[in-house]
Structure 1
Amino acid sequence: MSGKTDGDQECLLEARSIGRQTSAGEWLIHQLSLQVFPGDRIAIVGPTGSGKSLFLRSLAMLDEIQEGEILFHNQHVNEKETPAYRSQVVYLQQRPVLVEGTVETNLKFALQFQINQEKAANVASILELLSSFEKPEGFLNRQSSALSGGEGQIVALLRALILAPQILLMDEPTSGLDPQTTRQFEQIIHKWLETSNKTPAFVWITHDHSQAERVASQIMTFPAGTLEAVLTSE
């Protein structure tokens, strides 16, 4: 299934009939396709165990696929290009992994890698987003070990946005957040989409259908893997 069909737009990411198997040959996901275009807001919904996270990890090229192919800007990504791909297609997992140290250390962590060093200028603008979460300036000096689960997810989101990705892949990113912080998280994502000069896109797994309808313009339903536009009242 495809996202936008504007002939003037280049497809950012395309999964063509991909599948993953167990070592015994059983299909975990099979014959799934998706196109992601600039500005796409795609939510994935479905029951636990339907393959949503497996599909997302495959898009992030974190797990090997046994069938099909994944293209970025209509090109195959070889092994040497994987680090560059992952700096543009950023995966945000359900339980973020933070490094030892302060919040600021975590926000700047990915900038130590050569592929991301030119993105250091993005830090100042992303730090401004902290005010959206009503966090004091001293929050940057908090130790990661002292953060709540929700605060850790906020730090992981801001760390991902510092990389200025073309596509953000999110696996249940608000599952550990209270309703107020969840809405703030959603607002940050929309602000990122609106203010970025790259016209980025996201693919967002959620178990909450009402959230999917709030954040997405298209919803992909598992296990069938069908993609439909979100109906609005306009």
Structure 2
Amino acid sequence: MTEASAPENCLLEARQIGRQTSDGHWLNRDLSLQIFPGDRIAISGPTGSGKSVFLRSLAMLDEIQQGSILFHNEPVRDKQLPEYRSRVVYLQQRPVLIEGTVESNLQFAFQFQVNQQKNHNPDSIRNFLKSFGRPESFLKKKSSSLSGGEGQIVALLRALILSPEILLLDEPTSGLDPETTQQFESIILKWHETSSESPAFVWITHDRSQAQRLADKVMIFPAGQVSNHVNPES
């Protein structure tokens, strides 16, 4: 492989990317990562080491000042950003929900033109709800009455029903109780294992045991070094 190219099956590549503040302070720099179909990547490191900054850069939510990001070995142009964010879905730590019911929040994702051709499968939603121990009546619950954990469940369901190629998760279970955390992890792993598209995920976590449960690669911050076979059982 030359420096100018990645393997054909590489989904997403960050090449020595960096972000800096308006006064020139580097939040992170010279970070590289290749994401392939089926990858399960954990990002670990101390608070303030730039993990979330890096993940937002991968989601192309913030402009980078150094390096480049390639999707399927091609740069993403401005007009392609809506489609990119439909295929590389970012789940932030604190969910953002619209007013209305759980069901309207899930349907909201399909109101965007880029998602209108995607398959909206009610059965898959019911199966996800069942996995979380939530009845179908949960769909009628007002978003304003949801607990923080329930809001994160809704945000996850809204991401998964879009069938992303890559799911970017910024400490999604940090505010959840142990039972819901276990359910959340199980849902992600089931989605990852059963999807015919071999999706990948990148998961920021402070919990080393969680990284061992979930990931087959780990990226350690602030250096950004990537190691394989995090899980000692793998």
TM-score range, shorter chain: over 0.9
Unmatched segments (≥5 aa) in structure 2: 1-5
Question: C-alpha distance in 1, partners of 2:144/2:51?
Answer: 29
Which residue is 1:177 aligned to? 176
TM-score by length of 1: 0.95
Which residue is 2:133 aligned to? 134
Which residue is 1:232 aligned to? 232
TM-score by length of 2: 0.95
Which residue is 2:57 aligned to? 58
Which residue is 1:164 aligned to? 163
Question: Aligned-pair RMSD on alpha carbons?
Answer: 1.3
Which residue is 1:106 aligned to? 105
Asked if the contact 1:122/1:164 (under 8 Å) is kept, the reply is no
189-198 or 143-152: bigger deviation: 189-198
Matches within 5 A, 1:19-38: 19-38=18-37
Which residue is 2:83 aligned to? 84
Shift of 1:26: 1.1
Shift of 1:124: 2.9
Q: Where in structure 1 do 4 or more consecutive aligned residues deviate above 4 Å?
A: none
Shift of 1:123: 4.0
**For 2:121, what is the secondary structure of its paired residue?**
helix
Q: How many residues align?
A: 228
**For 1:108, what is the secondary structure of its paired residue?**
helix
Question: C-alpha distance in 2, partners of 1:141/1:216?
Answer: 34
Question: C-alpha distance in 1, partners of 2:123/2:68?
Answer: 37
Question: C-alpha distance in 2, partners of 1:176/1:127?
Answer: 24
Question: C-alpha distance in 2, partners of 1:99/1:59?
Answer: 25
Which residue is 2:151 aligned to? 152
Which residue is 2:213 aligned to? 214
Question: C-alpha distance in 1, partners of 2:104/2:231?
Answer: 42
**For 2:116, what is the secondary structure of its paired residue?**
helix
Which residue is 1:193 aligned to? 192
